[in-house]
Structure formats: C-alpha cells, structure tokens
Amino acid sequence: MRLVQALAGLMLLCCSTLPTRANPPPDRILDQRHRFDIHVQPLSGALRQLSSQTGVRILFPYEEVSAIRSRRVEGWMTTGQALQKLLAGTQLRMTQTSAGVIALAAPSRATARQSPLSFQLAQAASAPVSGPVTDVTPIIVTGTRLVTRTVADSMVPIDILSARAMEANGRQSVRDLLGALVPAISVSNSGAGASFAIKTLSLRGLAGDQLLVLVNGKRRHNSATLFINGTTQNGQSPPDLDLIPSNMIERIEVLRDGASAHYGSDAIAGVVNILLKDARRGGASIVGGGTWDGGGEQGRFQIDKGFAIGRGTIHLAADGVLQGRTVRGGPITSSLYFPGDPREATADRMRNKPGQPQVSGVNLAYHAVMPLGASELYSHGTWSRRRADAYLTYRPPNSILSIPDIYPEGYIPHLSIQDRDSQVTGGLRGDGPAGFRYDLSTSYARNEGRYSEQSLNVSLGPTSPTRFFLGAVTATEWTSNIDVQRDVPLGLAEPLLLAIGAEYRENRYRIAAGDPASHADGGYRSPPGAPFAGATRTPGAQGVTGFTPDSAGRYRRHNWSAYLNLEQKVAQGVEVALAARHEDYSDFGTTNTWKISTRIEPLRGIALRGTVSTGFRAPTLQQRYYASSSTIGVLFPGETTTRLAPVRALQVDDPVAIAWGAQPLRPERSTNLSAGLVLAPLPRLSMTIDAYQIRIRDRILLGGILSGLPDATRASGYNVLGELLLTRGLDPVQSGFYFSNAASTRTRGIDIVANWRADLGALGSALVTLSGNINRTIFTRLDVPQVLADLGVNLIDRARQGDVTRGTPRSKIIANLNWTRGEATLNLRATRYGDVTQVAARTVTVDGATFYPDEHIAPKILFDLEYSLQLAAGVRLAAGANNLFNIYPTKLSAVNQGTSGFALYNSYAPYGISGGFYYGKLSLAF
C-alpha cells in the first residue's frame, strides 16, 4: 500500500510540474471535432460533461441552467455544434471571452436578478467524467425516432436492462437474462427432435416470433430451425439470442407494445432492441459452475475491448461456452428384453437421459464507428459457431424400433445440431442539407443448422448404418433501409419531428436432403420365427428422420415498405405521436398498419399515456415450407400411454395436408390497445402501471396430430382420417400436423414496475425493484376445415389450445434488491411463477374412470443470489446461485410419466427441470 501511495504521489508531482497546454485561439475553440456521448440530464451536468470531453471552459448561470433538461448529444461533431444542440430552445446566449472561456447568458431581465454566486464554471480541471452520465430516466431509442426521449417521457412502456444489471447475474446468455429480469417475458426450452437446442421467448404470453428483435435498431434475422414437437412455443423460428455475446451489450430496451407501424412484421407483442458497446474500455470474465444434483457444468469465458481506429472506434467481443448435459429421468418400468431373457432381472433401468443438452460454442461480435465530416460510417456484426447434442427416447431390445443384432442392449438416438450463424450491418448517417438527418443502412444475415444422428434405420435391418447426416436448413435475410428525419417548427411547445423512410427485405430458405439411408424405406421384415416376423418397420433414421429429396428445396420472397412517423409536443405536458406503414410482399400482397400514441402530464410526477395500433406478422418461409418426420410419443385414441410413432410436419401444400383441409397461409393481423399511468411521487421512487389488450386475427398455429390408423371395425379397414387419405390414393396409415390460420385470440393483461433508490448512509445504497405481469389469453374464434368438421375432428386440438391459453405462467412477479456498500455488492432476486397447465389432447380411462390427464404446475418462488467483492481496481470476484433452493417443477402423474422413464418432470415449467445452478465468477475491467 505504501508503494502504491508513493507512486501516486510521484505521478501527481510530475503532472503538477508539467507545462500547462496553451489554450487554443478563441476563434478555434468551437471548431475542434470530438466524439460526444452526453445523455439526457440537467443542462448544468451536460455542460460539465461537454467541458470534460473537450477541455473547453464554460461559464453559465447555475440557477437558470440547472432547471433545464438537456438534449441527447451523440456522435462526431465540433464543439460548437454540440453546444448548439444543448442550447437549442433554451434562450441562452453564447459568447467567447478573450481568455478562451465560453460564457452563457440568460435574457437580460433575468440576468439582472442573478447573484454573482449563481454563475458556475464548467472546465476540464473539474472531476473527469469516465463514461456516460447515469440517469434515473435514461435516453431511449426504441419505439420513437426522437433523440431526447427518456423512459419517464415515453408514450409506451419500456424496460431498460443495463450492462450492470446483466453482469450481476449467473445467467450469461441474452435469452436467459431477459427471462430473469423482465416479468412479461417467459422462456421455453422443451423442443424435441431437431429443435431441442433452441429456446424461445414469450412476451405477454404471445409467441416468440411475434416479438421483433433489433440490434442497434436494425432487424435481427430469424433462425433457420423451426421450434417443433415442443410445448408452448411450437411452430416458431425466432431469432436465436444465444448467438449474441452478452458482454458486447451496453444495454437492452424492451418495448412492451405493438410496433409494426414502426418496424414492420413480427412486432405484434413488442420489440427487444439490443444496443452494442462502442466505448474504448473493456473487460473479461470467466464463469464456472454446475447444478446441485449433478451435471449441467458450465464454463464461459468472455472478453471485450474498444480501440481507436484513426478518429473512429471499434469495439470487439468474444464469448466462449461449454455446457454439460443434465439427466433428470426416472427408471424404465416396462420390460426391456423378450420373455425368458435372464438379463431382465438385473438390467439397469436408468437408461433414458432427458434434460438440458450438451453445448459448446463461440460467439464473436464487433461495433465500429468512423467519422466522415458531418457524417459517420458505422458497422456491426456477429459470427457464431455452436454444436449442441442431446439424447432422445431409449429404444429397448424388445421394441420393433430396435435391431438386437446391432444394439443388443437397445439404444438411444443421439442427435447433434451444428449452427453456423453470421450477420453484418453497415451504414452511413449524419446531418444533411436543410436540417435533415439521414441514415442509410444494409444488413445481410445467414443461419444454417446441420443435423446428424447416431441411431438406426430399422427398415434396413441388420445392414443399417448407425450414423446419419439428416440434412440441413439455411435461412438468409438481406435488409436495406433509408431513414430521413427533420425538426419542423410549427409554433407549438417544441418542433414537430417528421420522419420518413423505406425498407427492402429479401428472405431465402433452403432445405438440403440427408443421406439416402437417413430417410430410406429398406422394406426389412424379420424372418419367420423371429420376433415381429413379417411386421412392417418404420423407415428412416430413428429419432429424427432425414430430410427427403421431396421435402428439399429452395424458396424465396421479397417485400418493400414505406413509413411515416410524426411526434409533436403540443403544449407543456401534452404529446402525441402518429405512425403509419405500408408493406408489399411478393407472396401474399399488401398490408397497412398505423399507430397513435399520446402522453399527458397534468401534474408534475403524474402522467397518463395510451396507444392504439394495428400490427401484422407475415408467415415465415419456415412455416410455409418446412417438412420433416420425427419418431415421438403419440397418444392414440383408446390408449392410456403414449407410444413412439413417426409423425410428419407437413407443408400446407402437401397432398396429405390438403386431404385433411390445409389452406395457404395468410398473415396474422392484430389490434393493440394500451393505457398506462406513470408516477414519480418522490425523487427516488417511480412506478408505471400499464394495461393492455391484444387481439390477433388469423393467428398462425400448428394443429394437433392427425392420425390415419387401421380400424378393423370399418369396411375400409381404416379410421375416418385414413379413409380420407385412401380416397386420394395416399398411404392411409400415417400421422402429421400442419400450420393454419384457423384461430383468433385475445390477450389481456397488466404490467407493473416500481423502482426505489435508497441512500442508506453508512450502510451503503440500495436499488429495490418490484415488477410483475398478469395476463390471460382466450380464443375468440376456432375454425375447423369442413372436411374435418364433417368427421367431428378438431384441427387445433385441446392440447394445442391449452398451449396458447394455459401453457405460460398466468402471472410472474419479480422482487429484486441490489445493495452496494463500499467494494461489496449483493444482488438478491425472488421470482414467483404463477399457474401453468399442460393440457391433454384426449381422455384416458384408468380403473374405470375416464378423464383428461391435465398436468398442473403449482406456483413456485425461486431465489437467485449473487455476492461480489472488488478485490482491486478493475478486479471483482463473485459467487452466486440461480434457483438457490434447488426447486423442481411438479412431477408428472403416473399416466403421463408412462413406462419409459423419459418424462418425469413437467417440461412446461418456465424455469426448466435441472434444479439449482451454483457458480463462481472472476471479472476484470480495463
């Protein structure tokens, strides 16, 4: 410590004896260019920050200035330009003194009443500003094109997740961070087959692809893989947020309101805008941990740093992760071997391996800015590689899905997915003539999922290979934008913001076929005298069947759009905004959306806000063209337990889907209503309450599983669905499902967010946040194709309806305490998840009683805890736990567990089935 003090004293002595840099000539003070990052705050603080960033001294009347709210000033510009932006609309006059000091003066009648002590000097010699000013109402850029709007001023509800809030968390992926910190967001992670590695987000109980994701305000691409054979989020291909390094993020803005008029398709539920770092500082961290009950080990290393490149900057980030699998299954209760086999008595019955997959991956990202006169070039991008693998359901030796000659002890299909993902965005923005500001940008993205499997094709018999390439899916997106805006004085409280723009987007989708053996029907029959002699065997690889040449193909569509946005402060405390957008798609035509918002502040600290808007979501190319087959558990009519059977995901123009009533997909359309109350009764206390209603017409949903089956009681030998196929010359014994617009829904709910900042004196300081969401979705329309209605068969069956109405928590409440004292920080969070129900598709009869075997997950409260300590400047050590008390969801009933041991805990639980995760973390800042 004495050495450190001595070095510090020596540095101070050297600095004090250095010659003072001469001030530049007065006429050149304002012409020097700098990169500014000044947030909305009292004008007095903004002037001090400008002085710190430029070295210019500014004399200003404190009492006059401190009551004024500053504008946001960001980007490369001269000192004079930055000062003009800060002073716009203030009536303050600026002059230069011979000593090189900038003096600001109020109108003369006001200046006469000022005391000399009320003038203060902002100069570079004052305490330096190391970063953006932290403000309790930070600037926002989502849902508005006004560059001075804050959270408190917003006409729509927005959550801000700062880098600091995300760092005080054992969850390192972007998706899990959002699920942990935003009560209106739920995470689903129960995809089966080819989608087990994807987790999706639900905002306000809606689908993951009804939530638009932006990065620095630019559209993020969707995943090529379709989330299917899962739970509540079936049939979606949303952006994969795990492929964005969390250490590259400066903050995240979550807009909880419809925004299709602003951003186009997908923004029915809201928008997540991820803002990347561009500062020159950096950091690194390493996290290691595992679950209480074994497995799930995780190691994650992250590093990021900003650099100067000429007059510009570039920020780079890398994120690497290794995640082990968890096994949370139960014993197999059915027989494993054929009768008389002595191995049955001593067999290991814990053979299934359900749980989180094993994952390894690396994510890279950059964000660069380069000034060019009055404009600046910018670019950002990500590059990712990820491999995930998981085990599917065990096939015992005595199953028709097994070949004992190859696997004497049976086998578990082992599925692997390799993701290759990249996106790069570039643009030019700046000030144009006549006060116009412009932004030209283009972005190209590509996502590819390659599937492989270790299993068996039983239709090939003992000659079957055991390793298969199943095929690949690839999605690309090219988006180009032009945005222009200008302030137009109309003589009202503030100038009108006029923004216009256009966008062109092209999407491509490709399905590549797998190895012939992965989908072939070899026609193998067991010889006479052998088990299953003469029985038909299921073709294709077990688990997930390879893509066939018939399902392979290349698909494309494009669209263009134009928008108009107006924002006007009519009078003090009264603001309105209008937005309208026209879209033209190559495959389903045109659509128009609009939005009207208003905010009224009748009293200081109390504001009312409301929005009426329309929205839409175009069916993705994945939903239109994806086709696959998986062997999954199916509950057939008259049976009490599921059995493994091949089920096809059908394109809407597949002959089987058409026979069962499929129609071409149309876009979803929505109407959003919201009303909110903003309260700031005390300087450190704020609260928002927002109620909403979202009606979605022609909602795109996956139907239930339709099965054509043998039925000896009917003349044709098949059930009614099989007969429909038989009359079309199709195989009458098969199962499948397809997408449709057969439903309309209504979602109502309320969001509450309250923040209190407490100064505890010698005990430090604390930020207490209480937030919650309550919502409910109901069906207002359920159509059944006439061909199915005539047979008494539902398309959207009871289980699929339940996924929409009861599959996500009825409520979610988060209480968070962040306490800091000296070098120590404690973050404690309690999350209560409300009711969730897994709804059954069909009744079962057990012991003479017939009932629907619905599964109810009781409300649970989970605690997360992290304690961190700064060991030295830039060095912090932390330890914590997610799900501190190792809470598990409700176990399934015996009828839904079945006999395989694969289904033990309810996979609908929004907090997973792996239990508590405990970790340590070392962080460096530089």
Helix (H) or strand (E) holding 804: helix 798-806
Nearest Cα to Cα of residue 330 among 897, 912, 901, 905:
901
Query: What six digits make up the tokens of 66?
Result: 């401190």
From the list 879, 885, 887, the residue with the least C-alpha distance to 914 is: 887
End-to-end Cα, the chain, rounded Å: 21
**Nearest-angstrom CA–CA distance, 575 and 569:** 4
The whole-angstrom separation of Cα 716 and Cα 18 is: 101
Beta strands in 91-157 (DSSP E): 93-96, 101-105, 119-122
Mean pLDDT for 806-818 is 93
Strand segments, DSSP code E, in 783-823 are 811-821
User: Over the chain, what is the mean pLDDT?
Assistant: 86
pLDDT at 148 over 60: no
Q: Judging by beta carbons within 10 Å of its beta carbon (0-12, 13-18, 19+), is residue 589 exposed, middle or buried?
A: exposed
pLDDT in tens, 56-88: 878 777 666 766 777 778 777 788 888 888 887
User: Coil, helix or strand for 302?
Assistant: strand
What pLDDT does 199 receive?
73
Cβ burial, residue 206 (10 Å; 0-12/13-18/19+): buried
So what's the pLDDT on residue 140? 59
71-80, 246-255, 470-479, 817-826: the lowest-pLDDT one: 71-80
Name residue, tokens 């995930």.
388
Q: How far is 746 from 365, CA to CA, in rounded Å?
A: 39
Contact (Cβ atoms closer than 8 angstroms) between residue 191 and residue 230: yes
pLDDT of amino acid 150: 57
The better pLDDT of the pair 841, 509 is held by 509
Average pLDDT over residues 269-276: 94
The type of residue at 7 is L
Beta-bridge partner residues of 98: none
For 532-587, strand residue ranges (E) read 544-545, 553-571, 574-585
Report d(CA 240, CA 359) in Å as an integer.
14
Cα dist. 721→539, 634, 730, 795 in Å?
21, 16, 11, 12
pLDDT value at position 899?
A: 87
Side-chain half-sphere of 820: how many Cα atoms within 13 Å?
Answer: 11
Q: Which residue has the tokens 């077990």?
A: 542
- pLDDT > 70 in the chain, percent: 88
Is 837 in contact with 907 (CB distance < 8 Å)? Answer: no
Distance between CA 536 and CA 545 in Å, rounded? 17
pLDDT in tens, 85-112: 888 777 787 776 555 678 787 654 333 3
Structure tokens at 484: 């222009």
Does 82 or 816 have the greater pLDDT score? 816
Q: Residue 305, SS3?
A: strand
Question: What is the DSSP pairing of strand 158-162 with strand 185-188?
Answer: unpaired
Q: What is the pLDDT of residue 81?
A: 83
Lowest mean pLDDT among 62-76, 324-338, 364-378, 649-663: 62-76
Tell whether the model's pLDDT for residue 895 goes beyond 90.
Answer: no
Q: What is the b/e burial string over 703-716, where b = at least 16 CB atoms within 10 angstroms of the residue's CB?
A: bbbbbbbebeeeee
Backbone φ, ψ for residue 234 (5° rounding): -60, 145
* CA–CA distance, 525 with 521 (Å, rounded to integer): 11
Helix (H) or strand (E) holding 545: strand 544-545
Name the pLDDT band for 135 (thresholds 50, 70, 90). very low
pLDDT over 60 at 719, yes or no: yes
CA 858 – CA 872 distance, rounded (Å)? 45
Q: State mean pLDDT over 856-861.
A: 93
Q: Is 388:417 a contact under the CB 8 Å cutoff? A: yes
Q: Do residues 804 and 704 touch, judged by C-beta distance below 8 A?
A: no
pLDDT of the residue at 866: 95
pLDDT attached to residue 418: 94
Mean pLDDT of 398-406: 94
Tell me if 499 sits within 8 A of 145, measured CB to CB: yes
So what's the pLDDT on residue 53? 75
Q: What is the residue type of 128?
A: P
pTM exceeds 0.75 for this model: yes
CA distances from 526 to 397, 400, 537, 758 (A): 14, 10, 9, 75
Residue 188 is predicted with a pLDDT of 73
Close Cβ partners of 57 (under 8 Å, ≥ 6 residues apart):
51, 100, 101, 102, 121, 122, 123, 124
Q: Is the pLDDT of residue 471 over 90?
A: yes
User: Phi then psi for 297, rounded to 5 degrees?
Assistant: -60, 140
DSSP 621: H
CB atoms within 10 A of CB 104: 22
Number of H helices, E strands in the chain: 15, 44
Integer CA distances (angstroms), 532 to 282, 400, 540, 653, in order: 64, 7, 18, 36
Question: How many C-beta neighbours within 10 Å does residue 413 have?
Answer: 23
569/297 Cα distance (integer angstroms): 53
User: In Å, what is the CA distance from 604 to each residue of 159, 573, 607, 623?
Assistant: 22, 9, 8, 49
pLDDT value, residue 641 = 65
- The pLDDT value given to residue 618: 92
Query: What is the number of other CB atoms lying within 10 angstroms of the CB of residue 628?
Result: 26
Query: Whose CA is closest to 683, among 756, 760, 770, 621?
Result: 756
Helix axes 43-54, 79-87, angle to 10 degrees: 180
pLDDT of residue 493: 87
Residues 796-825 as b or e (16 or more Cβ within 10 Å = b): bbbbbbbbbbbbbbbbbbbbbebbeeeeeb
**pLDDT the model gives residue 22:** 42
Distance CA 242, CA 900 (A): 32
Q: How far apart are CA 541 and CA 464, in angstroms?
A: 9
* The dihedral sign for the CA sequence 578, 584, 588, 590: positive
3-state secondary structure (DSSP) of residue 575: strand
Q: At residue 119, does pLDDT exceed 50?
A: no
Characterize the bridge pairing of strands 218-219 and 211-215. antiparallel
Q: What average pLDDT does the segment 397-408 reach?
A: 94
Indicate the DSSP class of residue 248: G
Question: Nearest-CA neighbor of 669 among 620, 613, 615, 623?
Answer: 615
Q: Which residues, in sequence order, are CB contacts of 673 under 8 Å at separation 6+?
A: 611, 612, 692, 693, 694
- Token representation of residue 536: 């038909």
Residue for token pair 């020596």: 10
Going by C-alpha positions, the residue among 165, 208, 216, 213 that lies closest to residue 190 is 208
